[in-house]
Structure 1
């Protein structure tokens, strides 16, 4: 399930390239007095993802959008309810001052033949035990996937990540199967995020995934991925996916 949040610039805005953690902080602040108030401090998957604030318009009165996604319908309801109570006040996300125009629940429709594209970069880390398998020479316990590594490493890690999150959310033990049919690497990305007051570089990538005929097993995992995000660091704004129309 998704929440389409329509916004409007309350003033002339400067684009902030490092607002990921500020947007995450805004979302956590919204739910701090709810049953999800300790979500930020819990270990493991957070089971939500979100888009950038788009389009990149900076003029006063320009319309903007934010999409929040989660497989947990109750989580979406809680955020929606909290936002509804803020309609008469300005929303502050980092340096942005925004007016809340409307909130609407939406669900992407997956056709049998479809394409899925990255709304925000996918982040994948490869553990040290897989270095030899993929011909990676690094000294760290894990390394971000980069385009000079094999595509097999990326696909295997992203599929494994999706199944782990699915099984954790639904408390199941379904076995991994190949999910992706055709994939197109678009470009690498480097983002800066702040964790515990320290700025870190995060290496990601943009992709397009094409499906000629989704079977039921693929569909349920892809639909889950559209809600929870692909890859890692979804609650920091990475791995948000869109169905291309």
Structure 2
């Protein structure tokens, strides 16, 4: 992915401390791979020119290597993903782990005690509140970068981003962040229930799909997918119109 961005305006944003606005999946379907098997990868971003830059490079250079696995790009296709209009219910699942760090200045707020001064990775014993507030604040930062100034962000409105938070698992993973530098990340995987409350909430949920949840999205973490979606009934739409 970063090879595709070399020499472009996006290359200058690598490791600048701000979200690039890109999320990407693992290869799927997962499982044993033999020569000749086909797999897919999803890239998501609110920046169409960024996706176009990656697509052009993949069209010119079809080699796509992941670790020691060598692939060749066979086809590129464009997808349109949307959580749905107000009233829609659904489930979003994190396809890759979510990275949430609680800064030292915030630990006292949550009653988290540690013996070190660096940021603390979220874990279940910290309760759900710091996780919810962290991913919402992180999404607000991405909103401030990529959305229009006149639009309200996720922390500017009432209500949680999701209605339900179902933790699937937490796990530690050694990750090479730069050449020669490996750190241990504590990750969590989730299923989130949502009900689209308004057009603003719809934008926030779609932004989460486009940019990834939590941090370290440039390393592939926080990518999410809609796994269930139920459109609102006509009576629900009429009620929403009346409220509007």
TM-score (norm 2): 0.83
Structure 1: which 5+ runs fail to align?
1-26
> Could you tell me which residue of structure 2 aligns to residue 185 of structure 1?
167
The structure with the largest alpha-carbon Rg is: 2
> Could you tell me which residue of structure 2 aligns to residue 235 of structure 1?
218
Question: Of 128, 133, 136, which aligns to 1:159?
Answer: 136
> Distance between the aligned counterparts of 2:112 and 2:162, measured in 1?
23
Per-residue displacement from partner, 1:1-60 (whole Å, max 9, x unpaired)?
xxxxxxxxxxxxxxxxxxxxxxxxxx1111213222323143311110111112233211
Q: Which runs of 4+ in 1 moved over 4 A?
A: none
Distance verdict in 2 for CA 1:127–1:171, change over 3 Å: farther
The alignment covers a number of residue pairs equal to: 217
Bigger fraction of residues in strand: 1
> Could you tell me which residue of structure 2 aligns to residue 202 of structure 1?
185
> Could you tell me which residue of structure 2 aligns to residue 168 of structure 1?
145
TM-score (norm 1): 0.83
Structure 2: which 5+ runs fail to align?
229-244
The secondary structure found in structure 2 opposite 1:92 is strand
Q: CA RMSD in A?
A: 1.6
Trace 1:1-245 onto structure 2 (pairs within 5 A): 27-56=1-30, 57-87=32-62, 90-111=63-84, 112-138=88-114, 139-170=116-147, 172=149, 174=152, 176=155, 177=157, 178-196=160-178, 197-245=180-228
> Distance between the aligned counterparts of 1:104 and 1:78, measured in 2?
14
> Distance between the aligned counterparts of 2:103 and 2:17, measured in 1?
19
> Distance between the aligned counterparts of 1:212 and 1:171, measured in 2?
23
